[in-house]
Chain A
Amino acid sequence: MGVIHGDLMTLNIGPQHPSTHGVLRLKVKTDGEIISEVEPIIGYLHRCFEKHCENVTYDQVIPYTDRCDYIASMNNNFGYAVTIEALMEIKVPERVEYIRIIVAELNRIASHLLALGTYGLDVGAFTPFLYMFRDRERILDLFETLCGARLLYNYIWVGGLSHDLPRDFVESVFSFLDYFEPKIEEYNELLTYNKIFIERTADIGVLPPEVAISFGVTGPNLRGSGVKWDIRKDDPYSIYDKFDYDIPIGAGEMGTVGDCWDRYYVRMVEMKESAKIIRQALKGLPAGDVHQALPKKIRPPKGSIYKRTESPRGDLAYYIVSDGSPIPYRLKMRSPAFTALSVLGEISQGWMMSDVIAILGSLDIVLGEIDR
């Protein structure tokens, strides 16, 4: 069957659009419903994160990291704290490490819930979004008791934490996990194995592993393409090597390896694995003082460090150059969502208008982190 090409129409998706997940603009060239070119245009949310950091002391950077990936603030704090600690060679107490992992994994669940819920919205299913937000809300409530904030926590500090755990926190997390784990089955029944959802996502936007690696895509997007790469396992930081958990990868269960469904499903399974880690950490939680190792003054020695951690979106890394003063000389953040977005133009060519939205949603980008 011959294909007739008409004139191309340029269409701006965004910056104000229901499913660009923030203020992203996609400049799209369309031939009817078929997309022939996608160019993401970013920068609408640029807040000079890196320049700000060069003007405040090391501990004052932490609230700024909150505002980068505002869906997973704990993980951003965590990555920054780990980096500075490695630069200063601080050893943090065991209790701090455990609590950090508990909150980071809770935040990973919250972040994935948001990603999957809004992905449901992108393909037109409204109800799973509300189910997932209902459950994410419980995690936010837990964080509220923990540090008073629901979105921007400023909880993990260099050398320790801002507060110790509140009373009954461990029991509340256990009861949350008991409530939450069966809910994953509910999401699967409602959305994951829905025939229409599979039709919309399987075989769509296939990201082959070699393309993913060459673009520097990390996190669930890379694992969706069948590459078993997780910083928590492959370059362990904190005490992640103490726990027993699996790294789910995309297997092409419903279509090709690396399609939207695989990226979606990897996140779904990762929530289960995170719950597993939290359970182990809660059981092994030692007693101690979380403020014990907090340095009086953060003044890292001259030098530089590049340290990466696994945020819900992938390989989140900080490159910090210190000149021995209490203010960072240079701070660079490697954003996993930025590399994920860069691959969009590559994998959405030739798909239809609706698919581009589905592919964009499956990459789970956060504009706060891309623009910084």
Chain B
Amino acid sequence: MTVDNLINWFPFGTEWPVLTFVTAVIICALPVFLFIAVYALVAIYAELKISSFMQDKVGPMGQGVGLHAWKFGILQPVADALKLILKEDIIPDLADKKLFVMAPFIVFVGAFISFAALPFGQNIIIADMNIGIFYILAVGSLSVIGIILAGWSSNNKWSLYGGMRSAAQIISYEIPAGLSIISIVMLTGTLSMQGIIEFQSGTIWGVLPNWIIFNNPFSFIAFFIFFISGVAECNRTPFDIPEAESELVAGAFTEYSGMRYAFFFLSEYAEMFVISAIAVTAFLGGWNSPISGFMNSSGWGVFWFMLKSLSLIFLMIWFRWTLPRLRVDQLMSICWKVFLPFSLVNIFGVGIWSLLVG
């Protein structure tokens, strides 16, 4: 289901090309938005329950008469979302109103349009661009602009701190993440998401799945560099420095409330999914089954893709409830002194590997 197919399928495509294009894009965007909303609710519920399990408590539980978050507190995230939507929307008097209003949507757009190039299944991708992975990396960095705007426009010192920290952090971590992806691109010779996944079908020596993570030692390291940088880009613990609760109250989001705050929240979860999906696509075989030939049809592809992505999200949740937070300079030194040199060596290593072995 790509946009191109949809456009070709419309009978009046040649007569009103603009209308056709807009309709096709909207038809594709609506399910994505729905997917993000539903996924965010599920992920929030999962985070509540997983953290509760790790912290020896029960988490949300429905109790008493009436609906009360229903069985096992399943409706808790719905109640949370409703609460945020219904809350008063406060804009501080001295805030830069236009930027303040715009910021959450810019952040969300950055995460939202990345979904256009995510390969959910063999045929389920909105736009299978020939520069898919490059596109995602490019639009993914849009969200940092929104966070800086939020920090600046709030006219609050905590927000400013949060915005500046997050700018430094996200931009820095994009470099090792991008360099790790470059080593993948060198290996596969394509920037298309589907192309990268197709490269990973089959097995290595008939045992291991032919995923890039197992392809050579360098790509094995590249996976970890990419994934950790990705966690840093999502501002998740141990890299949640921009919103460091115990230091900056809520960082860039301090002055936000209600719906606007909900959008920041939503985009954080959407970004987690994007990062996990890229990691799955680039390193873990995308929609390929882990056991060659086992449940490997295009329908099961969606299952495998979601399973792998959600496992990585679980990993992020696990990090969050286990680790303390790094300090801002330690974060930077890890990025520039460890990840950057390693990912440069990786590029070199992958080059030599594909010359000699591949």
Kindly provide the distance from the CB of B358 to the nearest chain A CB, expressed in whole angstroms.
Answer: 36
In whole angstroms, how far apart are the Cα atoms of A121 and B247 in the complex? Answer: 10
Q: A18-B249, A19-B246, A134-B56 are in contact. Are A125 and B329 (CB under 8 A)?
A: no
Is there contact, CB below 8 Å, between A357 and B246?
yes
Is there contact, CB below 8 Å, between B57 and A127?
no
A:335-372 near B, CB below 8 Å: 352-355, 357
Q: A124-B238, A124-B244, A353-B247 are in contact. Are A196 and B55 (CB under 8 A)?
A: no
Does any Cβ of B come within 8 Å of A11's Cβ?
A: yes
| A196 proximity list for chain B (CB < 8 A) | 238, 323-326
* Binary per-residue interface labels of chain A (13-36) against chain B in the complex, 1 for a CB within 8 Å, 0 otherwise: 000011100000000000001000
Other-chain residue from B241, B322, B330 in contact with A199 (beta carbon distance below 8 A):
B330
Kindly provide the distance from the CB of A333 to the nearest chain B CB, expressed in whole angstroms.
Answer: 29
Does any Cβ of B come within 8 Å of A293's Cβ?
A: no
| A165 proximity list for chain B (CB < 8 A) | none
Does any Cβ of B come within 8 Å of A312's Cβ?
A: no
Is there contact, CB below 8 Å, between B326 and A199?
yes
In whole angstroms, how far apart are the Cα atoms of A363 and B127 in the complex? Answer: 56
| B249 proximity list for chain A (CB < 8 A) | 17-18
Other-chain residue from B51, B55, B157, B325 in contact with A124 (beta carbon distance below 8 A):
B325
In whole angstroms, how far apart are the Cα atoms of A128 and B327 in the complex? Answer: 19
| B247 proximity list for chain A (CB < 8 A) | 19, 353-354, 357
Kindly provide the distance from the CB of A200 to the nearest chain B CB, expressed in whole angstroms.
Answer: 6
Other-chain residue from B51, B55, B324, B329 in contact with A123 (beta carbon distance below 8 A):
B324
Is there contact, CB below 8 Å, between A127 and B330?
no
Is there contact, CB below 8 Å, between B244 and A125?
no
Does any Cβ of A come within 8 Å of B237's Cβ?
A: yes
Does any Cβ of A come within 8 Å of B321's Cβ?
A: yes
Other-chain residue from A127, A194, A200 in contact with B55 (beta carbon distance below 8 A):
A127
In whole angstroms, how far apart are the Cα atoms of A354 and B55 in the complex? Answer: 25
Other-chain residue from A124, A191, A200, A352 in contact with B240 (beta carbon distance below 8 A):
A124
Is there contact, CB below 8 Å, between A121 and B246?
yes
Kindly provide the distance from the CB of B177 to the nearest chain A CB, expressed in whole angstroms.
Answer: 20
Is there contact, CB below 8 Å, between B56 and A125?
no
Is there contact, CB below 8 Å, between A191 and B327?
no
* Binary per-residue interface labels of chain A (231-257) against chain B in the complex, 1 for a CB within 8 Å, 0 otherwise: 000000000000000000000000000
Is there contact, CB below 8 Å, between A127 and B161?
no
| B241 proximity list for chain A (CB < 8 A) | 354
* Binary per-residue interface labels of chain A (124-135) against chain B in the complex, 1 for a CB within 8 Å, 0 otherwise: 111100110010
Does any Cβ of A come within 8 Å of B25's Cβ?
A: no
Q: How big is the B interface, by class? A: 20 to 34
In whole angstroms, how far apart are the Cα atoms of A59 and B34 in the complex? Answer: 66
| B325 proximity list for chain A (CB < 8 A) | 123-125, 196, 200, 354
Q: A11-B157, A353-B161 are in contact. Are A123 and B246 (CB under 8 A)?
A: yes
Q: A33-B329, A134-B56, A354-B328 are in contact. Are A127 and B246 (CB under 8 A)?
A: no
Is there contact, CB below 8 Å, between A191 and B324?
yes
Residue on A nearest B238 in the bound complex, by CB: A196
Residue on A nearest B246 in the bound complex, by CB: A19
| A125 proximity list for chain B (CB < 8 A) | 322-325
Does any Cβ of B come within 8 Å of A176's Cβ?
A: no
Q: Which of A9, A194, A354 has the most CB of B within 10 A?
A: A354
A:76-135 near B, CB below 8 Å: 120-127, 130-131, 134
Residue on B nearest A199 in the bound complex, by CB: B330
Does any Cβ of A come within 8 Å of B82's Cβ?
A: no
Is there contact, CB below 8 Å, between A33 and B328?
yes
Q: A18-B246, A124-B237, A353-B161 are in contact. Are A194 and B56 (CB under 8 A)?
A: no
* Binary per-residue interface labels of chain B (20-53) against chain A in the complex, 1 for a CB within 8 Å, 0 otherwise: 0000000000000000000000000000000100
In whole angstroms, how far apart are the Cα atoms of A11 and B161 in the complex? Answer: 11
Is there contact, CB below 8 Å, between A131 and B56?
yes
Q: Which of A121, A124, A354, A355 has the most CB of B within 10 A?
A: A124
| A9 proximity list for chain B (CB < 8 A) | 157
Residue on A nearest B321 in the bound complex, by CB: A127
Kindly provide the distance from the CB of A357 to the nearest chain B CB, expressed in whole angstroms.
Answer: 5
Does any Cβ of B come within 8 Å of A190's Cβ?
A: yes
Other-chain residue from A11, A122, A199 in contact with B327 (beta carbon distance below 8 A):
A199
| B329 proximity list for chain A (CB < 8 A) | 33, 352
A:135-165 near B, CB below 8 Å: none
Does any Cβ of B come within 8 Å of A197's Cβ?
A: yes
In whole angstroms, how far apart are the Cα atoms of A125 and B327 in the complex? Answer: 13
A122-B246, A352-B329 known; 19 other A-B pairs, CB under 8 Å? A18-B246, A121-B246, A123-B324, A124-B237, A124-B238, A124-B324, A126-B55, A126-B321, A127-B51, A127-B54, A127-B322, A130-B56, A190-B322, A196-B323, A196-B324, A354-B327, A354-B328, A355-B327, A357-B247
Q: Ordered nearest first, which 3 A-B pairs have the shortest CB separation?
A: A124-B325, A125-B324, A19-B246
On B, residues with C-beta under 8 Å from A are 51, 54-57, 157, 161, 237-238, 240-241, 244-247, 249, 320-330
Q: List 23 A-B contacts (CB under 8 A).
A: A120-B324, A121-B246, A122-B246, A123-B246, A124-B238, A124-B324, A126-B320, A127-B55, A130-B56, A131-B55, A134-B56, A190-B322, A194-B324, A196-B326, A200-B324, A200-B327, A200-B330, A352-B327, A352-B328, A353-B247, A354-B241, A355-B327, A357-B247
